[in-house]
Structure 1
Amino acid sequence: MLKAAQIFSNYMVLQRRKNISVFGTGEDGRTVTVTLNGVSASAVVKDGKWQTELSPMEAGGEYEMVITDGTDTITFYHVMIGEVWFCGGQSNMEFEIQNAKDGKELLNTLNANCPVRFYYTPKVGTEEDAEKQGANTCWNTASPENSKYWSAVGLHFALKLSKELGVTVGLIGCNWGGSSASNWVDRETLENDKTISSYIEEYDEKTKGKTYEQMVEEYHQYEKENAEWNEKYSKLCAEKPGTSWEQAAEVLGPNTWPGPVGAINPFRPTNMFHNMVMRVCPYTIQGFLYYQGESDDHKPDSYYRLFTSLISLWREKWGDDELPFILVQLPAFKYAKDPDYRHWSKIRSAQMKAYRTVKNTGIAVITDCGEFDNIHPLDKKPVGERLCLQAEKLVYGMDVKAFGPMFRSYIIKDGGIEVSLDYAENGLTPKGEAKQCFEIAGADGEFTEAEYKIDENDSSKIFVYSDKVNEPKYVRYNWFNYMESFLVNETGIPLAPFSTFDK
């Protein structure tokens, strides 16, 4: 029987000005023809699959798409051609607009005339679940009810972009809270690189000697116990509002999320790549938006390799090694009960290094958008809008100020270190509480708090010094998990954290 891939549905948005990939399944040997807006393309079904490409079109709609193999015919209605962006990552990309700051007010302004549409890739642990759940998915138009589950970051991005470009923007949500980047790549990517192979080696070690049936039984038992724990937690919160996860664990016993490692645990390495990303690939997109890194803070030294491998793999699967990839650098955060481990500093550094070394990438710096003791900051508007500025600059060639200050270089002079910045020529101003943000170290790498002076004649230069370090060698800025003091330029975007100490 002729089928289109699950991502094709009524109200879908297709990418303008690119070949439009259309694909699905059918009976071997049959010729499948796709027609849209007077343009047709055909393909022969082979090994149960077919794929064809329609010629590029300008933005417009609404249209009908007709797919036929001469026996069966599928028709999709209310199709728009505009801009399509893939929203990947973990919980802060997934974070729903209904729970965001001012989200309910924004929802009340949305209706079907809003030029933003959304498709959410089902969160699944197996191919069977992907088939089952995906059958019930579709593109949604905006409304107070439809949109409340949409990515807040994605929606704010799309609202700004659609206004700037005057076209419909389609978002593909493909994200899962708590996921590691290792969930979003294939086994070959992990196995073939010793820097990141520990992710798959640890999985193999923990599942060694277990049968598939045993792993399934273990996970189903966990699901039952976890449901019971969550029910008790809900009752506890009703009785004592504000009960934290840690406090609940003291009363109810520990919560064992994400469950036993095994063949159907959705948080196993590679699962989300195979059963989510590849469910929508190669749907034609303009680029990727990616907000992730929190769940890899236990292995920050290998994150650059893992992250850049993900970018390379996704681009390979979409058949475009220059497909735009715009990332979110992690915000300020730490739990109140924890010391500042500074491991998020290493993740941010890896993210900045990826931006600097991987072509056709952008970066949204949002260190000032974090919240103390809350890993899910509520205000997602600046995140989405800074992503949009990056897209406007990188992809659409618009003359916008998309960057806050960024480290460029340094020289050691006059008993201190002079730091030179990009995007700071029009002045720097402090934002947030006045706390020390610069540190300096000698050859021993032992950092201490430092004073700083912004050059009166050239605000792109900052002189950093300390009476405690007579022969400075290294300097770093906001090298913390959580910080409250920032230097910003005229955009209001903060100076991105940096360190010249790479050990």
Structure 2
Amino acid sequence: MDYICSKIRLPRIISDGMVLQRNTEVKVWGWAPAGEAVTVCFMSKVYHACADANGEWFVILEAAEAGGPYNMDIESAQSGEKLTVRNILLGDVWLCSGQSNMEMKMDSLKDTYPEEISSCSNDSIRHFCIPVRYDFENPQKDLEAGSWESANPEKILDFTGVGYFFALKLFEKYRIPIGLINASLGGSPAEAWLSENALKEFPEHYEAAKQLSNRAYLYKVLSEDQASTEAWYADLNKKDRGIENSNTSWKTIKVPSYWEDEGLGNFNGVVWFRKEINIPFNPANKSARLVLGNIVDEDIAYINDVEIGTTPNQYISRKYNIQDGLLKEGKNTILLRVVNTSGKGGFYKEKPYQLEIGDSIIDLVGEWQCVIGAKSSPMPPQAFVQWRPLGLYNGMLAPVTNYALKGFTWYQGEANTKNPGEYESLLKGLISDWRQKWNMGELPFLYVQLPNFMEASETPVESDWAQVREAQRRTLSVSGTAMAVAIDLGEWNDIHPVNKKDVGNRLALAAIKTVYGDETVVAFGPMYKSHRIEGSKIIISFTDTGSGLVVKNGEHPGAFAIAGADGVYVRVNAELIGDDVAVWSEAISHPVYVRYGWADNPADANLYNREGLPASPFTTE
């Protein structure tokens, strides 16, 4: 963009490389001195506006077909000063929002999708990442930073992984430009993305937002949070004995494990880990990295007494590049300083722990040595102000509500499992709120149901994660919504599963059928429709059976449970009867309720349609 104009200013989102929504009127807006006349020239048409008393102006562009690239000229009628927005495409624009699984960048998926990244070259898929910002006082009018980027091996690393694969599938089918606006933040609950008016339906969240709108109170919370955190670390670092006297104090421990489970003690603080390895060849001039799965919570890694990397939290996989010349043939030493702030400290199980040198891999799973550096009480709870109600809507969404969209994609819910009972209302409220703010009618809202996570369960259990999934399923009663089921795409030991391609593809299937109107595609897996009781059996019917129900990995459907009037669930026998499922148990002669996949991580949720899409968990209560 040529910023040669001193009087006219555009919002960040209206900038070089942007994708404008096709086939609808599009608002272009900005700021200028009050009373300033502004002319916008686009696709051989001229539009006129005048800045109001607040210095705000806008024009409405006529609807146009997909295509480009085009330039847009914005000019001051009085001074003749002009700026130009270049390389504009018309296509479909989707807002991608939620928490960390939507935020997760392709950079974090380099090991999972190396070919997709290296071969990526598509100027028709573009991405705008909204920087993280919160505000509890007023909806912001503009973003602090951000730019439109095209998909190529370098820039794609900053794309949302789910969003990119969603866009790629749509582009491959329709061959039109796809623009992604990514407004997401790890750990954020749904209420952080609601506007002030929408929050009034949730008094507790509304009061929290109003409290933080007092700047003095907000600064007090932030300063106290910072002070307590800094004091905790200062005390810990002062007490940390490091590896002094280590020749006599090292103990043997298994990696991966949690040190409490290995008998080291139940405490928070610092533990040092050491492992000596033998490299039976000369590693010079070979690429090398240390892969350490996930560590709870923080670590600093050393090779032969040289620091090679550090990671601040447990949710990031450790993959440390090792500089050439640091490794040597023969004995080498790996040293880790692990800080645990709360809960159990140690290493995620069933993750890769290895030293990679060229094409060779040295397995690091097994016995390590450890020594306690310092014991401490848990870190004082942090305020996490950025996750509080209203803040993210004001800071990240409000500035782009004028920008025309095709629809929304949403991947969130993990942060609301602490209070799952309110999630259905929150999600329905969010959908209504966003549609009102964008004022484009019933914009499509596509979302991801929570995947499987934590220890697998083969017996009926109560589950906050299952309750959120049910809330998500029930939100399908809102018109213009569609849900991608991901109950088979999670990882038991990681809240951030790396299979983002299938998630994006399932969202795209939902869009192809419900938004683009392709009735020939099977876009969803089996969805609970109804049930009837026949004696001691419950017969369950489904929609979206595709070309038929199938059982994957087993002879009979699993993960079903039934209960009588007392609500006590037991696992059941189950069999397919055409496109229905019959369930029963000798322990319950008068069944009333039925559940499927009701657990954090249901071990045998194996009901699919023949198109390979899984059934959604559900309860009939």
- TM exceeding 0.5: yes
1:180 aligned partner: 189
Equivalent pair of 2:140/2:395 in contact (CA under 8 Å): no
Look up the equivalent residue of 2:569 and give its one-letter code.
Answer: F
Provide closer, same or farther for how the CA distance between residues 489 and 220 of structure 1 changes in structure 2, counting only shifts above 3 A: same
Partner of 2:204: 198
How far the C-alpha of 1:174 sits from its partner, in A, is: 0.5
For these two proteins, the number of residue pairs brought into alignment is: 489
Whose Rg is larger?
Answer: 2
1:293-304 equivalences under 5 Å are 293-304=413-424
Matched-pair contact (CA < 8 Å) for 1:222–1:260: no
Q: Evaluate the alpha carbon distance shift between residue 372 and residue 216 of structure 1 in structure 2; reply closer, same or farther with a 3 A threshold.
A: closer
| Alignment partner of 1:359 is 2:482 | no
Deviates more, 1:428-437 or 1:236-245: 236-245
Q: 1:422 to 1:226 in 2, by over 3 A?
A: farther
Mark the CA change 1:283 to 1:222 in structure 2 (over 3 Å): closer, same or farther. farther
Correspondence for 1:428: 549
- What are the equivalent positions in structure 2 for 1:163-178 lying under 5 Å apart? 163-178=172-187
Aligned with 1:8 (options 6, 14, 19)? 14
TM-superposed deviation, 1:29? 1.4
3-state SS of paired residue (2:479): coil
The whole-number CA distance in structure 2 between the counterparts of 1:65 and 1:257 is 52
Match of 1:42 among 40, 48, 57: 48
What is the CA-CA distance between 1:200 and the residue it aligns to? 3.3
The one-letter amino acid paired with 1:478 is: G
**TM-aligned CA distance change 1:295 to 1:473, over 3 Å:** same
Identify the residue that residue 590 of structure 2 maps to in structure 1.
Answer: 471
Shift in CA distance, 318/133, structure 1 to aligned 2, threshold 3 Å: closer
Give the conservation status (yes or no) of the 8 Å contact 1:427–1:490. yes
In the superposition, relative to structure 1, how do residues 128 and 418 fare at CA in structure 2: closer, same or farther (>3 Å)?
closer
Corresponding residue of 1:25? 31
Structure with the bigger percentage of helix = 1
Structure 1 counterpart of 2:428, which letter?
T
Deviations 1:361-382 (A, max 9, x none): 1111111111102101101111
Q: Which residue of 2 aligns with 1:68?
A: 75
In the other structure, the counterpart of 1:107 is 117
Contact 1:422 / 1:460 at 8 angstroms: preserved in 2?
Answer: no
1:442 aligns with 2:564: yes
Q: Give the unaligned 5+ runs of structure 1.
A: none
TM-score, length of structure 1 as denominator length = 0.89
User: Which position in structure 2 is the counterpart of 1:269?
Assistant: 389
SS of alignment partner, residue 369 of structure 1: coil
- Identity of matched residues, %: 32
Give the C-alpha shift of residue 98 in structure 1.
2.0
The one-letter amino acid of 1:394's match is T
| Correspondence for 1:95 | 104
Judged with a 3 Å threshold, the aligned counterparts in structure 2 of structure 1 residues 472 and 211 are, in CA distance, closer, same or farther, namely closer
Query: How many Å separate the matches in 2 of 1:147 and 1:274?
Result: 27
Displacement of 1:154: 0.3
Structure 2 residue corresponding to 1:51, chosen from 58, 72, 78: 58
CA deviation profile, 1:14-68 (whole Å, cap 9, x unmatched): 1110111111222111222222111232322121222221001111111101112
Q: Does 1:377 align with 2:442?
A: no
The answer to whether 1:318 aligns with 2:442 is no
Q: Look up the match of 1:403.
A: 524
C-alpha displacement of 1:294: 0.6
Tell me how far 1:241 sits from its aligned partner.
Answer: 9.1
Cα distance between partner residues in 2 of 1:478 and 1:189: 32
> For the structure 1 residues 227 and 169, does the alpha-carbon distance in structure 2 shift closer, same or farther, using more than 3 Å as the test?
farther
The 1:128/1:38 distance shift into structure 2, 3 A limit, reads farther
Q: Secondary structure of 2:345's partner?
A: helix
SS of 2:508's partner is helix
Distance verdict in 2 for CA 1:427–1:373, change over 3 Å? same
User: 1:368, 1:484 within 8 Å by CA — same for their partners in 2?
Assistant: no
Cα deviation, residue 99, structure 1: 1.6
Instruction: Letter of the 1:91 partner, please give it.
Output: S
Contact 2:449 2:484 in 1 (8 A): yes
Residue 141 of structure 1 corresponds to 150
- The Cα shift of 1:201 comes to 3.6
Q: Does 1:332 align with 2:452?
A: yes
Letter aligned with residue 552 of structure 2: K
* One-letter amino acid of the counterpart of residue 259, structure 1: Q
- 379 and 425 in structure 1: CA distance in 2 versus 1, 3 angstrom threshold: closer
Provide structure 2 residue ranges, at least 5 long, that are not aligned to the other structure.
1-6, 237-294, 302-309, 311-333, 348-371
| Structure 2 counterpart of 1:150, one-letter code | F
Q: 1:56 to 1:424 in 2, by over 3 A?
A: same
Aligned to 2:467: 346
Name 1:247's counterpart in structure 2: 345
Following superposition of structure 1 onto structure 2, how do residues 446-465 of structure 1 map, counting pairs within 5 Å? 446-455=568-577, 459-465=578-584
Report the CA distance between 1:244 and its aligned residue: 7.8
Deviation at residue 212 of structure 1 after TM alignment = 4.7
Q: Would the alpha carbon gap of residues 464 and 154 (structure 1) be closer, same or farther in structure 2, given more than 3 Å must change?
A: same
Cα distance in 2, alignment partners of residues 291 and 66 from structure 1: 37
SS in 2 for 1:367: coil
Deviations 1:196-249 (A, max 9, x none): 32223456679999645423533554686799899x933166833998874169
1:484 is displaced (CA, Å) by 3.1
More strand by share: 2
CA shift for structure 1 position 137: 1.6
CA distance in structure 2 between the partners assigned to 1:253 and 1:105 by the alignment: 45
Q: Which has the higher mean CA deviation after the structures are superposed, 486-495 or 25-34?
A: 25-34
Superposed CA offset, 1:395-452 (max 9, x none): 1112311011111100110311110111226322223578840000111111111111
Instruction: Note if contact 1:431-1:487 (Cα within 8 Å) is conserved in structure 2.
Output: yes
C-alpha contact 1:15 1:83 (8 A) present in aligned 2: yes
Is contact 1:258-1:267 (8 Å) kept? Answer: no
After superposition, the Cα gap between the structure-2 partners of 1:73 and 1:239, relative to the gap in structure 1 and judged at 3 Å, is farther
Distance 1:287 1:317 in 2: 13
- Partners of 2:195 and 2:447 in 1: CA distance: 20
- Mark the CA change 1:354 to 1:214 in structure 2 (over 3 Å): closer, same or farther: same
Q: Name the structure 1 match of 2:298.
A: 233
> In the alignment, is the contact (CA less than 8 A) between 1:433 and 1:484 conserved in 2?
no
Contact 1:122-1:133 at 8 Å conserved across structures: no
34-43 vs 18-27, which moves further: 34-43
Query: Partner letter of residue 288 of structure 1?
Result: F
Moved more, 302-311 or 419-428: 419-428
Letter in 2 for 1:87: C
Q: Work out whether residues 184 and 270 of structure 1, in 8 Å CA contact, stay in contact via their aligned partners in 2.
A: yes
**What TM-score do you get using the length of structure 2 for normalisation?**
0.73
What is the RMSD of the two structures over their aligned residues, measured on CA atoms? Answer: 3.2
